[in-house]
Amino acid sequence: MKYTNKKDAKNIRKLTLVFSLIVLIVLIVVLGLSSLTAYILAKMHLLSDGNEGIQVSHIILFMAITSLVMGTIISIITSKMILSPLNMITSKINSLASGNFGTRVDFDEIVTRVPSFSELSSVFNKLSEELQNTEMLRSDFINNFSHEFKTPIVSISGFAKLLKKGNLTDEQRREYLDAIEEESLRLAYMATNVLNLTKIENQSILTDISSYNVSEQIRSCILLLEGKWSKKNLEFQLEIEEHSISACEELLKQVWINLIDNAIKFSNDGQFITISSQDKGQYLCFSITNYGIEIPKTKLDKIFNKFYQCDESHSTHGNGIGLSIVKKIVYLHNGEIKVVSENNSVSFHISLPKKPNGVK
Over residues 191-232, the pLDDT tens digits come to 777 777 777 766 767 788 899 999 999 999 999 899 889 989
Query: How many CA atoms within 13 Å lie on the side-chain side of 331?
Result: 12
Q: How far is CA 289 from CA 228, 246, 305, in A?
A: 17, 25, 20
| Gap between the Cα atoms of 335 and 325, Å rounded | 14
pLDDT for the residue 23 = 65
Instruction: Considering the domain delimited by 133-201, tell me its CATH architecture.
Output: Orthogonal Bundle (1.10)
Are the CB atoms for 71 and 28 separated by under 8 Å? yes
Q: What is the pLDDT of residue 246?
A: 92
Residues 6+ apart with CB under 8 A from 268: 291, 292, 293
| Cβ atoms 308, 302 nearer than 8 A | yes
Taken in order 103, 104, 110, 115, the sign of the CA dihedral is positive
Task: Name which of 71, 81, 84 is nearest 25 in CA terms.
Answer: 71
HSE value, Cβ hemisphere, 13 Å, CA-based, for 76: 5
CA dihedral 305, 307, 311, 312 (to 10 degrees): -110
Query: What's the confidence (pLDDT) of residue 289?
Result: 93
Amino acid at 250: E
Question: DSSP character for 296?
Answer: P
Q: Is 267 helix (H, G, I), strand (E, B) or coil?
A: strand
pLDDT in tens, the chain (360 residues): 344 455 555 655 665 666 667 666 766 766 676 667 666 766 666 555 544 444 555 665 666 676 667 666 766 666 666 666 666 777 777 777 777 777 777 656 555 555 556 666 777 777 777 777 777 766 766 766 676 677 788 888 888 888 888 778 888 888 889 888 888 887 887 777 777 777 776 676 778 889 999 999 999 999 989 988 998 999 999 999 899 999 999 889 989 998 999 899 888 888 899 999 999 889 999 999 998 877 877 777 777 776 666 555 444 555 567 788 888 899 889 999 999 988 888 999 999 999 876 444
| Separation of alpha carbons 76 and 70, rounded Å | 10
Q: Residue 274 in contact with residue 260, Cβ under 8 Å?
A: no
- CA gap 66, 346 in Å, rounded: 75
Q: Answer for the pair 35, 64: CB distance below 8 angstroms, yes or no.
A: yes
pLDDT of residue 215: 93
**Would you call 193 exposed, middle or buried from its count of C-beta atoms within 10 A (0-12, 13-18, 19+)?**
buried
**What's the CATH number for 209-353?**
3.30.565.10
**What is residue 344's predicted lDDT score, i.e. its pLDDT?**
84
pLDDT at 324: 82
Q: Give the separation between CA 336 and CA 351, rounded to whole angstroms.
A: 5
Percentage of the chain exceeding pLDDT 90: 18
Structural domain spans, the chain: 6-100, 133-201, 209-353
Show the CA angle centred on residue 266, arms to residues 260 and 268, nearest 5°.
115
Q: pLDDT, tens digit, for every residue of 266-313?
A: 888 888 999 999 998 899 999 999 988 778 777 777 777 766 665 554
Pairing state of beta strands 244-248 and 209-213?
Answer: antiparallel
> How many Å apart are CA 340 and CA 305, to the nearest integer?
16
Q: Biggest alpha carbon distance in the chain?
A: 128
How many whole angstroms from its chain centre is CA 44? 70
